[in-house]
Structure 1
Amino acid sequence: MTADLIYDLLRQALWTAVKISAPLLAVALIAGLTIGLLQALTSVQEMTLTFVPKVGAMLIVFWVSMSFMTATLVSFFTDSVIPQIAGG
């Protein structure tokens, strides 16, 4: 394997990681902003109020998008990694 192939495979791996993590990170951002706005409006500064709903929302999104994440990762390996290994 040449350096160009390794860099291209690394670029594809990083892009796959971004695609897989995007739904979870987006939900964490939206939930954090919503809860932060709610806390600012009500002046309630409770630590569990920020943690529990955010984790709950992320678990729900993870459960819903698990098939997308698995399919994306399997596609990356079957289309990119395995042919590079088999090619030498």
Structure 2
Amino acid sequence: MTDAAIYDVLRQGLWVAVAMSAPLLGVALVAGLIVGLFQALTSVQEMTLTFVPKIIAMLIMFWVSMSAMTAVLVDFFQVRLIPIVAGG
């Protein structure tokens, strides 16, 4: 395997990681902004108020996007990694 092929597989692996984590991170960002705005408007500074809604939103998003994440990961393994391991 050449250096270029190794770097190509690493690059695609990083893009798969970005594609899988982007929905969860986006939901956490939006939930954090909404809770932060709520805390600023009401002057409520409770630490669990920032943590619990983010976790709930991320769990819901993970449950909704789990099939898409699995499809992306399975496709990456079947198209890129398994042929390399098998010697193709």
TM-score range, shorter chain: over 0.9
- Give the TM-score normalised by structure 2: 0.96
AA at the equivalent of 1:54? K
Instruction: Summarize deviations over 1:28-49 as a string: whole Å, max 9, x none.
Output: 0000001001100100000010
Equivalent residues in 2 for 1:1-80, closer than 5 Å: 1-80=1-80
Aligned residues: 88
Unpaired runs of at least 5, structure 2: none
AA at the equivalent of 1:62? F
Unpaired runs of at least 5, structure 1: none
CA distance in 2, matches of 1:60, 1:86: 37
Name 2:86's counterpart in structure 1. 86
CA distance in 2, matches of 1:84, 1:35: 46
Give the Å deviation of 1:86.
2.1
Instruction: Summarize deviations over 1:26-80 as a string: whole Å, max 9, x none.
Output: 0000000010011001000000100001100000000110000101000000011
- Give the TM-score normalised by structure 1: 0.96
**Aligned-residue identity in percent:** 72
Give the Å deviation of 1:87.
2.9
Instruction: Give the RMSD, CA atoms, in angstroms.
Output: 0.8
